[in-house]
Amino acid sequence: MSVFKTTDLYLAAYLKTAGVPLLGAEKSDSDRVVFIFTRIDSVLDLKRAYFKKESKVCALEYADNIKSLKVLIHGFRV
Protein backbone atom coordinates (compact mmCIF):
# COMPACT_ATOMS: atom_id res chain seq x y z
CA MET A 1 0.00 0.00 0.00
CA SER A 2 1.29 3.43 -0.92
CA VAL A 3 1.28 6.04 1.84
CA PHE A 4 1.67 9.80 2.17
CA LYS A 5 3.56 11.11 5.21
CA THR A 6 3.78 14.57 6.73
CA THR A 7 5.01 16.14 9.96
CA ASP A 8 2.86 19.23 9.35
CA LEU A 9 0.02 19.15 11.90
CA TYR A 10 -2.16 21.60 10.00
CA LEU A 11 -1.72 19.88 6.63
CA ALA A 12 -2.52 16.58 8.32
CA ALA A 13 -5.69 18.04 9.85
CA TYR A 14 -6.68 19.42 6.45
CA LEU A 15 -6.12 16.09 4.69
CA LYS A 16 -8.11 14.29 7.37
CA THR A 17 -10.93 16.83 7.02
CA ALA A 18 -10.83 16.43 3.22
CA GLY A 19 -11.44 12.69 3.65
CA VAL A 20 -7.98 11.20 3.20
CA PRO A 21 -7.80 8.10 5.44
CA LEU A 22 -5.37 8.53 8.35
CA LEU A 23 -3.54 5.25 8.94
CA GLY A 24 -1.74 6.38 12.07
CA ALA A 25 1.25 8.27 13.40
CA GLU A 26 4.78 7.39 14.37
CA LYS A 27 7.71 9.10 16.04
CA SER A 28 10.54 9.99 13.67
CA ASP A 29 14.27 9.88 14.36
CA SER A 30 14.27 13.63 14.92
CA ASP A 31 11.68 13.26 17.72
CA ARG A 32 8.88 14.62 15.52
CA VAL A 33 5.55 12.93 14.91
CA VAL A 34 4.88 11.75 11.36
CA PHE A 35 1.25 11.43 10.27
CA ILE A 36 0.66 8.59 7.82
CA PHE A 37 -2.18 8.69 5.30
CA THR A 38 -3.37 6.36 2.59
CA ARG A 39 -2.03 7.78 -0.67
CA ILE A 40 -5.19 8.35 -2.66
CA ASP A 41 -5.11 9.74 -6.21
CA SER A 42 -6.06 13.24 -5.11
CA VAL A 43 -3.69 13.64 -2.14
CA LEU A 44 -1.09 15.66 -4.06
CA ASP A 45 -3.82 17.87 -5.56
CA LEU A 46 -5.19 18.44 -2.07
CA LYS A 47 -1.71 19.32 -0.79
CA ARG A 48 -1.21 21.76 -3.67
CA ALA A 49 -4.59 23.42 -3.01
CA TYR A 50 -3.74 23.73 0.70
CA PHE A 51 -0.45 25.54 0.07
CA LYS A 52 -1.98 27.73 -2.65
CA LYS A 53 -4.72 28.76 -0.18
CA GLU A 54 -7.38 27.38 -2.52
CA SER A 55 -8.73 24.64 -0.26
CA LYS A 56 -12.23 24.57 1.16
CA VAL A 57 -13.19 22.44 4.17
CA CYS A 58 -15.57 22.77 7.10
CA ALA A 59 -13.85 25.05 9.64
CA LEU A 60 -15.34 23.34 12.69
CA GLU A 61 -14.35 19.87 11.48
CA TYR A 62 -10.85 21.16 10.66
CA ALA A 63 -10.50 22.58 14.20
CA ASP A 64 -11.75 19.29 15.68
CA ASN A 65 -9.19 17.37 13.63
CA ILE A 66 -6.37 19.63 14.83
CA LYS A 67 -7.38 18.84 18.41
CA SER A 68 -7.56 15.09 17.78
CA LEU A 69 -4.14 15.04 16.09
CA LYS A 70 -2.64 17.00 18.99
CA VAL A 71 -3.82 14.20 21.26
CA LEU A 72 -1.76 11.79 19.10
CA ILE A 73 1.28 14.06 19.35
CA HIS A 74 1.02 14.35 23.13
CA GLY A 75 0.66 10.57 23.39
CA PHE A 76 4.17 10.22 21.97
CA ARG A 77 5.61 12.70 24.45
CA VAL A 78 4.37 11.04 27.63
Q: What mean pLDDT do residues 5-18 have?
A: 98
pTM for the model stands at 0.91
pLDDT in tens, 25-49: 999 888 899 999 999 999 999 999 9
Position 77 pLDDT exceeds 70: no
Distance in Å from the first CA to the final CA of the chain = 30
Instruction: Compute the distance between CA of residue 14 and CA of residue 9 in angstroms, rounded to an integer.
Output: 9
Give the residue extent of every domain in the chain.
Answer: 3-76
